[in-house]
Structure 1
Amino acid sequence: MLPHSFPFFSFIHSFILFHRNSQSYNSHCVPYECASAKVGPSFELEGTHTTMSYNHLYPFDAMEEEEDFFDEMDENNHADGGVADDDALDEYEMLTKVTDTSAAQARKGKDIQGIQWDRLNISRDSYRVTRLEQYKNYENIPASGDAVNEDCKRSVKGGKYYDFFYNTRMVKPTILHFQLRNLVWATSKHDVYLISNYSVMHWSSLSGNLSEIINFAGHVAPSEKHAGSLLEGFSQTQISTLAVKDNFLVAGGFQGELTCKFLDKKGVSFCTRVTHDDNAITNAIDIYDSLSGATHFLASNNDCGVREYDVESFQLLNHTQFPWAVNHTSISPDRKLMIVVGDHLDGLLVDHHNGKTVSSLVGHRDYSFASAWHPDGRVFATGNQDKTCRVWDVRNLSSPVAVLVGNLGATRSIRFSADGQFMVVAEPADFVHVYSTKADYSERQEIDFFGEISGVTLSPDDECMYIGIWDRTYASLLQYNRRHSYTHLDSYF
């Protein structure tokens, strides 16, 4: 994966300010991901192309430069004073005073994100078409997403497994690396943990309370002493990935940092830097219970290593090296096998106990950033920048069980429901797909919105699904509830 990060430009920010000047305006701001890490990100408007690098910035610096970038864009585009007049700015302010949306309001026609489409001279459907046409999917292998259609399983859209329940704008999810989207985790149907700017935040959907758990903008140091822990802690840690399970949290950083916290204890329990390699970003973390009942976690790193830690002692149990950067690792329910994917076309199925490769997973056409196991321990899935999620069966790895293609871009995260009935697949933006495993992935529910996805999570009981949306104007947390026969009850909330 690329060792840099950047912010994205709000999809509708410029449109609101510009559209008044032309009845035929058809220029919409979309993320444009450069093919070169040296160049950095660029943001493309029809007829313009602005490039700006955010390499090696801490999040606070990036946020300041992001604001400067937006201001400069506005100045450049409105230098003649003929577009961004007072009326336009007043209209922009009015349109962006977005409120929360409930299920009852959505049923009455309110946009789930609070976007006032009736006040824009473009419909939601028209903007969706333009967005699909203009969104640039990031690829390490050129045109990797163009040649997959012949392999893909066609799934019928229209399933209804989760119902929209609430969209809260109090929660502002953020992303610090465009390829890493595991930044939202639910520990119950009411408790959600996520990254917002430089902090780990907790959202209670029950009380409507948002609270800060760890603030990484300043100095963070452990309150306990463990072998290998950096007692001096870290300053200004740039968080790349997050994992939360039960009462335990691990945050990974851009410089190989791992910060561990028990949610029922004050302070941080453990801090370490797993490597001083120049390419040290922590890409993913998988927390799990070992067969003995002890809690362990796996940390996947850009230095090509996968490290296993025991949570009670915080001791390093295993360190397995691979020939390429490891972007994601998932351990099987029986704890015997690991899926290992990274900066290579082929993924690996690895023996967890000795680190030896059991089988290669051949079929993807780009680098992979997501993996997950079905609770039956036989089926698993991998997600790739070739826009596909591939479903495999350990009993026959010669070819995938299903190849499922996205609408817009890479498969950035995958979650199986605890009961095994559904597989949730998140693209980098706009779309989350819920596949029915009982229908052999031939049926799916498509959740459609606008904005970059910071993460998707299912509550342990599968009752709630949360989606983090990162956007300068419309950042929010979407909540969907498992469909039951008594869905009419949400009208009382």
Structure 2
Amino acid sequence: MSHYNRDEMEYVADDNEMAEVEDDVYFRGRAFGESDSDDDDEYDPLQENRITDTTAAEARKGKDIQGIPWDRLSISREKYRQTRLEQYKNYENIPQSGELSEKECRPTDKGGRFYDFWQNTRSVKSTILHFQLRNLVWSTSKHDVYLVSHYSIVHWSSLHSKRSEILNVQGHVAPCEKHPGSLLEGFTQTQISTLAVRDNLLIAGGFQGELICKYLDRPGVSFCSRTTYEDNAITNAVEIYEHPSGAVHFMASNNDCGVRDFDMEKFQLSKHFCFPWPVNHTSLSPDSKLLAIVGDNPEGLLVDSQTGKTITQLCGHLDYSFASAWHPDGRIFATGNQDKTCRVWDVRNLSKSVAVLKGNLGAIRSIRFTSDGQFMAMAEPADFVHVFDAKRGFEKEQEIDFFGEISGVSFSPDTESLFIGVWDRTYGSLLQYNRHRNYSYLDCL
């Protein structure tokens, strides 16, 4: 993963990298062709009340789902979309990986309609601290979602249209429970790099290897740990799972090349595996026997979860990978890469991937399957989330199209909702889509 200067709170990047992060990404009036006078007098991005939430009923009547006033701008949505597609620069660690990967991609039918737009909520502003890490949105029910907003982890209830702060890490955070190995002194000004929430457990990872564990049904923080004191310590990803013993565990992937497993029943580190390169994401198979490991290497690894021994290399990607996910059937899993592709693998034959799915703008930075195995969502860095019909061989997709950087995507456990975090200084929000049904109701809860 690219180095990050946490003291200056800026990316240590070349011009090409910064082009992906912010160049031509945000909406500041001028990005839409407004004149200086328009920007100063008529349209002020700081006047939040001028950009309102959007409901499904309003969208059906023609309102832009993000509330972007295209009729007041000197560029149409279609023209701006085309400009973005032509000018957006995908960050690559290996030059031309995006171009070279295209020849293997299969064409897909983009006529799918699996999830319908439900609402865009601007009461919660999703934010990102590192441009390569986009696992900052987690849903625990069709109405409940948790996301990172600056130094806060917030909960949004779409049922009650209510935002509440769950944890603020700007100041001092220390555990209020005593467990062996827990850092009782806690942390100050944690910069959150990744997040995971499952049932009542929330884990936040930080830029200096911090791990903060909070049970949502308990006051305060239960456990704090620092994975390493090395400079290259950032926690890249966290996965919470149920161990075959019944205990809740979580796995942390770190830039120090380590994968660590924590037992939350004992609040103890139970395993620590080391790999030859920084680990950007780890996914555990549904039977808890296999680990998909991806990181700063074109080849991924399939690993025995008990021993950490490599079973096989995953060959095909052309750049570094930042996303992985298992299908609930335990046979299929997917990896997302900066070569702008998602590869789908079958454990019964790992000599090559069974499908290569292509993004529009850039890297595939987040992947999620629905709990019923019907759909898979893959998120690009910005503008596009693709939902594939996994049950029918990934041949049909729904392309969700908007403007802004994507902080994360999450299906609700019952598959009814899909939440998308959008990071933008003016149009930052939370998008909610609900599962499409052949029957329809009035717009009500």
TM-score by length of 1: 0.85
1:174 matched to 2:154? The reply is: no
The reply to whether residue 4 of structure 1 matches residue 4 of structure 2 is yes
Displacement of 1:35: 6.3
Q: In the aligned structure 1, how far is the partner of 2:340 from the partner of 2:431?
A: 23
**Structure 2 counterpart of 1:79:** none
In terms of Rg, which structure is larger? 1
Deviation at 1:132, TM superposition (A): 0.6
Determine the structure 2 residue equivalent to 1:90. 41
Find the aligned partners of 2:288 and 2:344 in 1 and give their Cα distance.
19
**Given the superposition, is the C-alpha separation of residues 44 and 162 from structure 1 closer, same or farther in structure 2, using an over 3 Å criterion?**
closer
SS in 1 for 2:100: coil
Output the amino acid matched with 1:34.
D
1:205 & 1:119 partners in 2: Cα distance?
30
Distance (whole Å) between structure 1 residues aligned to residue 39 and residue 311 of structure 2: 61
Whether the aligned pair in 2 keeps the contact of 1:175 and 1:181 (CA below 8 Å) is yes
Correspondence for 1:218? 171
Change (3 A) 1:261 1:279: same
| Mapped pair 1:369 → 2:349 | no
After the TM superposition, which residues 329-368 of structure 1 pair with which residues of structure 2 at under 5 Å, given as runs? 329-368=282-321
Matches within 5 A, 1:182-221: 182-221=135-174
How far, CA to CA, are the matches of 2:21 and 2:396 in structure 1?
36
Q: Which residues in structure 2 correspond to 1:192-271 (within 5 Å)?
A: 192-271=145-224
Structure 2 Cα separation of the partners of residues 387 and 171 of structure 1? 29
Which whole-Å CA distance do the structure 1 matches of 2:88 and 2:5 have between them? Answer: 18
CA distance in 1, matches of 2:353, 2:322: 17
Task: Tell me if structure 2 keeps the 8 A contact 1:188–1:461.
Answer: yes
**Partner residue in 2 for 1:395:** 348
CA distance in 1, matches of 2:22, 2:331: 42
**Map 1:409-448 → 2, pairs under 5 A:** 409-448=362-401
Contact 1:138 1:409 in 2 (8 A): yes
Q: Which residue of 1 aligns with 2:14?
A: 34
- Residues 247-291 of structure 1 show CA distances to partners (whole Å, capped at 9, x for unaligned) of 000000000000000000000000111100110000000100011
CA–CA distance in 2 between the matches of 1:5 and 1:128? 32
Deviation sequence 1:308-367 (CA, Å, 0-9, x none): 000111100000000000000000000000000000010000000111000100000000
Distance 2:116 2:415 in 1: 13
2:82 aligns with 129
Counterparts of residues 311-326 of structure 1 (less than 5 Å): 311-326=264-279
Correspondence 1:481 to 2:428: no
Letter in 1 for 2:306: H
Change in Cα spacing, 1:201 to 1:422, as seen in structure 2 (3 Å) is same
**In structure 1, how many angstroms separate the alpha carbons of the residues matched to 2:41 and 2:266?**
57
SS at match of 2:141: coil
1:90 is displaced (CA, Å) by 2.3
Q: Deviations over 1:38-91 (max 9, x none)?
A: x99885469xxxxxxxxxxxxxxxxxxx9xxx9xx99xxxxxxx9534x54221
| Aligned-residue offset at 1:419 | 0.4
SS at match of 2:57: helix
Q: Structure 1 vs Structure 2: percent identity of aligned residues? A: 65
> Counterpart of 1:276?
229
The size of the alignment, in residue pairs, is 438
Q: CA deviation at 1:148?
A: 1.2
**d(CA) in 1 for partners of 2:14, 2:222:** 39
Alpha-carbon separation, structure 2, partners of 1:138 and 1:98: 31
Conserved? CA contact 2:16–2:89, under 8 Å: no
Offset, 1:304: 0.2
1:21 corresponds to: none
With normalisation by structure 2, the TM-score equals 0.94
Q: 2:434, 2:340 → 1: CA distance?
A: 27
Contact map agreement 1:5 1:176 (CA 8 A) in 2: no
Assess, with a 3 A threshold, how the Cα gap between structure 1 residues 108 and 257 changes in structure 2: closer, same or farther: same
Letter of the 1:93 counterpart: D
CA distance in 1, matches of 2:21, 2:388: 33
Structure 1 gaps, min length 5: 9-30, 47-65, 75-81
The letter for the 1-side match of 2:99 is D
SS at match of 2:99: coil
Contact 2:19 2:89 in 1 (8 A): no
SS at match of 1:320: strand
Contact 2:16 2:91 in 1 (8 A): no
CA deviation after TM superposition for structure 1 residue 93, in Å? 2.2
User: Distance between the aligned counterparts of 2:268 and 2:23, measured in 1?
Assistant: 47
Q: What root-mean-square deviation, in Å, do the aligned CA atoms of Structure 1 and Structure 2 show?
A: 2.5
Runs of 4+ displaced beyond 6 Å: 5-8, 39-42
Q: State the 1:99 CA deviation.
A: 0.3
Which residue of structure 2 lines up, in the alignment, with residue 78 of structure 1?
A: none
